[in-house]
Amino acid sequence: MQLLKRVVGWIVIVIGVGILGLGLSIPIDALIGRGRVEALTNTTIPGPAGPIRAFVVEPTTPGPHPAVIMIHEWWGLRPDIIEKATALAADGYLVVAPDTFRGASTTWIPRAIYQVSTTPPEQVQADLDAVFSWLIARADVIADRIAIIGFCYGGRTSLLYTLHNPAVAATGIFYGMAPVEPSALRQIRGPVLGIFGGADASIPLSEVEQLERNLRAAGVSTRFVIFPDQPHAFVGGIDSINAGGAAGDAWQVLRAFLAEALKGQIPAGQKWPVEMRATHATTLAGWLHHRFVCGW
């Protein structure tokens, strides 16, 4: 019995030290990563609580242009978002990738969870309102052709912002999910694209299918494409996109969607991928991601 008490005591100590270490790792990572967002951004936009940092890239062709707001993952603004924004601008869009965490960016999962869970959704909406207003005021932007797209946390944020601001012309959701009342979807005016991985351990396909049904029932023009055997966040930086495969195909779907929604163009020879369903198991990491990013 005495030995059992000692073992339990040591287990409790080890768990306590681990929890303490994880807690301390968050401010340490913030200190190490200071200046990451500043190094990636080239523009400041007036916001409700001070300047909002953003990366903005303009097309080389004469304007005015449609515009795209691109929202980062739960990590915060990182180089892969800058790469994708730059690639998309080559298609003739003015692209702005704002920092919705107000200076925070990381590669450490505990801090990513902390960023998402401590950033009020109302604050994000207010900052995006400022970005949207800034775009409308630009002479080189077509005010009624502004789309919002996002990845992971950014996909969820894009859907929620479109519900908040029905003036959004089109919405692209890459493996993002949010609890939404079906009746609220009726206020969405523009088309919605959803791209998901069939092997995503953090978003049950039953939820994806339900959101798709709810959007269609609300009269929203909807295109959901599920890539079988692909995990969460399968569209990485521009290198993964250029390598082809599922990431490259998903990017081409996005390009076709935006061309049709914002320019009224259907690219010659464009074929929508066949939608396929696949079952998957939920892992602990997937559950944590879904719990803190998708508000499950």
**Predicted local confidence at residue 31, as pLDDT:** 65
**Predicted local confidence at residue 135, as pLDDT:** 98
pTM to 2 decimal places: 0.86
- Distance between CA 125 and CA 142 in Å, rounded? 21
**Predicted local confidence at residue 7, as pLDDT:** 52
Domain that holds residue 278: 33-293
**Predicted local confidence at residue 24, as pLDDT:** 56
- Distance between CA 295 and CA 172 in Å, rounded? 19
- Distance between CA 235 and CA 231 in Å, rounded? 10
Asked, for residue 142, whether it belongs to a domain, the answer is yes
Q: What is the mean pLDDT of each run of 10 residues along the chain (296 residues)?
A: 55 46 62 83 97 97 95 97 98 98 93 94 98 98 98 98 97 95 96 97 94 97 96 96 96 97 74 41 40 44
Asked, for residue 127, whether it belongs to a domain, the answer is yes
Indicate the DSSP class of residue 94. E
Instruction: Count the domains in the chain.
Output: 1
Q: How far from chain centre, in Å, is Cα 189?
A: 20
Asked, for residue 240, whether it belongs to a domain, the answer is yes
Asked, for residue 25, whether it belongs to a domain, the answer is no
Q: Which residues of 152-161 are buried (b: 16+ CB within 10 A; e: fewer)?
A: bbbbbbbbbb
Of the candidates 210, 133, 207, the one whose C-alpha atom is nearest the C-alpha of residue 167 is: 133
Q: Does residue 222 contact residue 196 with C-beta atoms inside 8 Å?
A: no
Asked, for residue 271, whether it belongs to a domain, the answer is yes
Asked, for residue 18, whether it belongs to a domain, the answer is no
Asked, for residue 4, whether it belongs to a domain, the answer is no
Asked, for residue 2, whether it belongs to a domain, the answer is no
CATH of the domain at 88: 3.40.50.1820
